Amino acid sequence: MLLKLAWLSILNRRGTAFLTIFSIAISVALLLGIEQLRESMRNSFLQTVSGIDLVVGARGDAIPILLYSVFRLGEATNNLRWQSYLEWTGDERVEWAIPISLGDSHKGYRVLGTTTDYWKHYKYGHNRKIELEAGKFFDGLYDAVIGSVVAEKLEYQLNQQIVIAHGAGSAALFKHDDQPFQVVGILKPTGTPVDQTIHVSLEAIEAIHIGWEDGFPSTETDNPEKIKLSDLQPKSITAFLVRLTSKMHTFRLQGEINAYEKEPLSAILPGVAMQKLWQIMGIFEKSLMAVSAIVILSSLTSLISLLLATMNERRREMAILRSVGAGPLTVFYLLWIEATVLCFVGVCLGFVFQYIGLIAVSPIVQDQLGLQILLEWPGTKEFVFVLLIMTCGMLMSFFPAWRAYMISLHDGLLPKA
């Protein structure tokens, strides 16, 4: 009976009630959305590469090396010599290594030069290998294998010709249009930066840059036949990923690479670098969570303000309830249930807004970062957040309910005119 009366009372003030519910819903969606986005991105980051013991690049900080070599974010400050790669990968402690060369792009998507070892050994998630959706892996000089996002966004098919640009993003001013590539393979979706990468051979990267000095082309690049006959062994690469024969060699080999006298190199542990990255990101995450908590508190405060502001206007309503036999406690419970219903509806609507927001953000994150946002059912942490919000709302609603109780009691004690 009281629940029905509370609902009718809310409908009687549907305008202000809707604004209150909407405010609570937005704040709940913001809090839950940030939490799920954080967890989803963290899992996606951790599953980007699997089975790698060391990442070796030119001397620099661990986080930038991790970002550009694994996540295709940012640029390397310098390359490392091919001879250094051969020397270290020839070590008996190294099981296999994958060289990567970055620096070019195609319509905003990164181009990665590598060898066939990339298809053999590169894994993501729980030791999952890269698989083809269609076509084959590159074996010719101007073959290209594209990720699923590249194929979808640019609507590319097999045997289509593409032109690679020198540089990435806005820095891609010159195109290697004299040496077009042909799409020979399209990869299955992985939910990692692989999906938005164009893969070519290291020899192809070397071929399209023959005759380039200081980042500018010369007339030598106008003769593709001469390029094909040239020595296409790479002179330098961006980084290489290392798998060791035993985890016991990890720290020893890392120290030896970092102390390499022939060239300044940095060997990083992907897991350790990832932890450092999340420590930095944790500051922003906590800030966003704090802002969300403040927004929720503000929304609950507006709920209480709504009930208090309408208290004098509802004296007649309370008087009618008293006249039909309702006691002060009945009025108290009525106001408390009304506030609880508003809070509950706002929280439920917040779940809906959260998923709508994640659905809208997911393609943007995948397109910009190559990371997949998984839409999952709310977990224990989300329900704990909701329980805390509901508890706070119910506790805060005691004050306007108590206020209504006192007014009702005072009006009930007044002598009738």
Q: What is the pLDDT of residue 354?
A: 85
Q: What percent of the chain has pLDDT over 70?
A: 79
Q: What is the pLDDT of residue 230?
A: 55
For residue range 247-263, what is the model confidence (pLDDT) as tens digits? 999 999 999 999 999 99
Claim to verify: residue 7 and residue 98 sit in the same structural domain: no
Q: Which of 268, 292, 318 is the last residue of a domain?
A: 268
Split into its structural domains, the chain has a count of 2
Claim to verify: residue 25 and residue 93 sit in the same structural domain: no
Which one-letter DSSP state was computed for residue 375? -
* Rounded Cα–Cα distance for residues 82 and 88 (Å): 10
Q: What is the pLDDT of residue 417?
A: 44
378 is a domain residue: yes
E-strand spans in 32-93?
54-58, 80-81
* Rounded Cα–Cα distance for residues 362 and 356 (Å): 10
Q: What percent of the chain has pLDDT over 90?
A: 33
417 is a domain residue: no
Element (H, E) at 133: strand 132-135
Q: What is the pLDDT of residue 137?
A: 95
Q: What is the pLDDT of residue 248?
A: 93
Claim to verify: residue 311 and residue 395 sit in the same structural domain: yes
Claim to verify: residue 9 and residue 94 sit in the same structural domain: no
Claim to verify: residue 179 and residue 152 sit in the same structural domain: yes
Q: What is the pLDDT of residue 260?
A: 93
115 is a domain residue: yes
For residue range 324-346, what is the model confidence (pLDDT) as tens digits? 666 667 767 777 787 788 888 88
Exposure pattern of 112-123 as b/e (b: 16+ CB <10 Å)? bbbbeebbebbb
Q: Which of 251, 268, 285 is the last residue of a domain?
A: 268
Claim to verify: residue 215 and residue 346 sit in the same structural domain: no
Please give the biggest Cα pair distance in the chain.
Answer: 111
Reported confidence tier of residue 228, pLDDT bands at 50, 70, 90: low
* Single-letter code of the amino acid located at 246: S
For residue range 14-33, what is the model confidence (pLDDT) as tens digits? 777 787 788 888 888 887 88
Claim to verify: residue 249 and residue 298 sit in the same structural domain: no
Q: What is the pLDDT of residue 370?
A: 59
Which one-letter DSSP state was computed for residue 188? P
Q: What is the pLDDT of residue 264?
A: 94
106 is a domain residue: yes
Strands 197-201 and 109-114: parallel
* Rounded Cα–Cα distance for residues 159 and 110 (Å): 20
162 is a domain residue: yes
Q: Which of 268, 295, 325 is the last residue of a domain?
A: 268
For residue range 111-169, what is the model confidence (pLDDT) as tens digits? 999 999 999 999 988 788 999 999 999 988 899 999 998 999 899 999 999 999 887 76
Claim to verify: residue 102 and residue 187 sit in the same structural domain: yes
Cα separation of the two ends of the chain: 30
Claim to verify: residue 111 and residue 242 sit in the same structural domain: yes
307 is a domain residue: yes
Claim to verify: residue 41 and residue 73 sit in the same structural domain: no
Residue-averaged pLDDT of the chain: 81
Q: Which domain holds residue 141?
A: 54-268
186 is a domain residue: yes
Claim to verify: residue 378 and residue 256 sit in the same structural domain: no
Claim to verify: residue 322 and residue 373 sit in the same structural domain: yes
